[in-house]
Amino acid sequence: MGRLWQTKLPQEVKTFLFGTARLADYSPVKGCMVIRPNGYSIWEAIQRDLDRRIKETGARNAYFPLFIPESFLKKEAEHVEGFAPQCAVVTYAGAKDLEEKLIVRPTSETIINSMFAKWIQSYRDLPLMINQWANVVRWEMRTRLFLRTTEFLWQEGHTCHALPEEAEAEARTMLLVYQSFAEEVLAMPVLAGLKSESEKFAGALRTYCIEAMMQDKKALQAGTSHNLSTNFAKAFDTLFLDKDGKQKVVHQTSWGVSTRLIGGMIMTHSDDKGLVLPPRLASTHVVIVPILANASMKASVIEASEKLRKEIAGAAQVSDLPYSVGVSVDTDETKQAGWKFHEYELLGIPLRIEIGPRDLEKQQVVLTRRDTGKKEFIPLSEVPQKVVHTLAQMQKDLLERAKSLRDQNTFTVESYQEFKEKLEQPGGFMVAPWCEDAKCEAKVKEETKATIRCLLLDEKFQKIPEQKHCIFCDNKGPAVRAVFARSY
Amino acid sequence: MGRLWQTKLPQEVKTFLFGTARLADYSPVKGCMVIRPNGYSIWEAIQRDLDRRIKETGARNAYFPLFIPESFLKKEAEHVEGFAPQCAVVTYAGAKDLEEKLIVRPTSETIINSMFAKWIQSYRDLPLMINQWANVVRWEMRTRLFLRTTEFLWQEGHTCHALPEEAEAEARTMLLVYQSFAEEVLAMPVLAGLKSESEKFAGALRTYCIEAMMQDKKALQAGTSHNLSTNFAKAFDTLFLDKDGKQKVVHQTSWGVSTRLIGGMIMTHSDDKGLVLPPRLASTHVVIVPILANASMKASVIEASEKLRKEIAGAAQVSDLPYSVGVSVDTDETKQAGWKFHEYELLGIPLRIEIGPRDLEKQQVVLTRRDTGKKEFIPLSEVPQKVVHTLAQMQKDLLERAKSLRDQNTFTVESYQEFKEKLEQPGGFMVAPWCEDAKCEAKVKEETKATIRCLLLDEKFQKIPEQKHCIFCDNKGPAVRAVFARSY
Look at B88 and A93 and tell me if their CB atoms are within 8 Å: yes
Q: Which of B41, B64, B72 sits opposite A34 (nearest CB)?
A: B64
pLDDT, tens only, A135-180:
999 998 888 889 999 999 999 999 999 999 999 999 999 999 999 9
Average pLDDT of the segment spanning B317-334:
95
Identify the CA nearest to A487 among candidates A7, A145, A136, A81: A7
The fold adopted by the segment(s) A3-269 is: BirA Bifunctional Protein; domain 2 (3.30.930)
> What phi and psi, each to the nearest 5 degrees, are found at residue A347?
-80, -10
pLDDT at B294: 87
Residues of chain B with CATH 3.30.110.30: 410-485
pLDDT at B2: 40
Q: Which of B61, B86, B153 sits opposite A44 (nearest CB)?
A: B61
pLDDT beyond 80 at A455: yes
The fold adopted by the segment(s) B282-392 is: Rossmann fold (3.40.50)
Let me know: does A347 contact A275? Beta carbons within 8 Å: yes
> Which carries the bigger pLDDT value, residue B88 or residue A11?
B88
pLDDT beyond 80 at A6: no
Closest-CA distance, B61 to chain A, in angstroms, reads 6
pLDDT, tens only, B123-158:
999 999 999 999 999 998 888 889 999 999 999 999
Closest-CA distance, A485 to chain B, in angstroms, reads 28
Closest-CA distance, B326 to chain A, in angstroms, reads 14
Look at B91 and A95 and tell me if their CB atoms are within 8 Å: no
Identify the CA nearest to A102 among candidates A119, A83, A89, A115: A89
pLDDT, tens only, A200-252:
999 999 999 999 999 999 999 999 999 999 999 999 999 999 999 999 999 99
Average pLDDT of the segment spanning B345-367:
96
Let me know: does B352 contact B341? Beta carbons within 8 Å: yes
Contacts A72 to B, Cβ<8 Å = 28
Closest-CA distance, A155 to chain B, in angstroms, reads 14
Closest-CA distance, B33 to chain A, in angstroms, reads 7
The fold adopted by the segment(s) B3-264 is: BirA Bifunctional Protein; domain 2 (3.30.930)
- Separation of alpha carbons B464 and B451, rounded Å: 18
Look at A68 and B33 and tell me if their CB atoms are within 8 Å: no
pLDDT, tens only, B59-74:
999 999 999 999 999 9
pLDDT at A141: 84
CATH of domain B410-485: 3.30.110.30
Contacts A58 to B, Cβ<8 Å = none
Number of H helices, E strands in chain B: 14, 24
> Which of A15, A66, A122, A125 best probes binding to B when mutated, by most B CB atoms within 10 angstroms?
A66
Look at A40 and B25 and tell me if their CB atoms are within 8 Å: no
Contacts B40 to A, Cβ<8 Å = 60-63
Q: Please count the other Cβ atoms lying within 10 Å of the Cβ belonging to residue B44.
A: 17
Give the side-chain half-sphere CA count within 13 A for B104. Answer: 33
> Which carries the bigger pLDDT value, residue A7 or residue B39?
B39
Look at B93 and A92 and tell me if their CB atoms are within 8 Å: no
Average pLDDT of the segment spanning B291-318:
94
Rounded (10°) angle between helices A416-424 and A438-448: 40
- Separation of alpha carbons B132 and B141, rounded Å: 26
Q: Residue B273 is which amino acid?
A: K
Helix extents (H) in B106-204: 109-119, 164-184
- The pLDDT-based confidence of B273 (bands split at 50, 70, 90) is confident
Closest-CA distance, B442 to chain A, in angstroms, reads 24
CATH of domain A282-390: 3.40.50.800
Contacts A64 to B, Cβ<8 Å = 27, 34
Stretch (H or E) spanning A402: helix A383-408
In sequence order, the 6+-apart residues with CB closer than 8 A to the CB of A342 are A273
pLDDT beyond 70 at B7: no
* Burial (CB count <10 Å: 0-12, 13-18, 19+), residue B468: exposed
Highest mean pLDDT among A129-133, A340-344, B473-477: A129-133
Contacts B141 to A, Cβ<8 Å = 94
Closest-CA distance, B19 to chain A, in angstroms, reads 10
> Which of B18, B26, B30 best probes binding to A when mutated, by most A CB atoms within 10 angstroms?
B30
- Separation of alpha carbons B324 and B310, rounded Å: 13
> Which of A15, A20, A34, A139 best probes binding to B when mutated, by most B CB atoms within 10 angstroms?
A34
- Separation of alpha carbons A28 and A16, rounded Å: 19
In sequence order, the 6+-apart residues with CB closer than 8 A to the CB of B71 are B100
- Separation of alpha carbons A297 and A244, rounded Å: 82
pLDDT at A18: 56
Look at B151 and A40 and tell me if their CB atoms are within 8 Å: no
Residues of chain B with CATH 3.40.50.800: 282-392
Contacts B29 to A, Cβ<8 Å = 65, 67-69, 102, 111
Look at B90 and A94 and tell me if their CB atoms are within 8 Å: no
pLDDT, tens only, B397-456:
999 999 999 999 999 999 999 999 999 999 999 999 999 999 999 999 999 999 999 999
pTM (2 decimals)? 0.96
Helix extents (H) in B370-469: 383-408, 416-424, 438-448
Question: Reduced to 3 states, what is the DSSP secondary structure of residue B245?
Answer: coil
Closest-CA distance, A88 to chain B, in angstroms, reads 4
Rounded (10°) angle between helices A164-184 and A37-56: 140
Give the side-chain half-sphere CA count within 13 A for A78. Answer: 13
Let me know: does B349 contact B285? Beta carbons within 8 Å: yes
ipTM: 0.95
Q: Which of A69, A89, A134 sits opposite B90 (nearest CB)?
A: A89
Identify the CA nearest to B44 among candidates A133, A110, A319: A133
Contacts A75 to B, Cβ<8 Å = none
Q: Please count the other Cβ atoms lying within 10 Å of the Cβ belonging to residue A3.
A: 11
* Burial (CB count <10 Å: 0-12, 13-18, 19+), residue A409: middle
B378 - beta bridge partners?
B365
Rg of chain A on CA atoms, in Å: 25
A97 - beta bridge partners?
A92
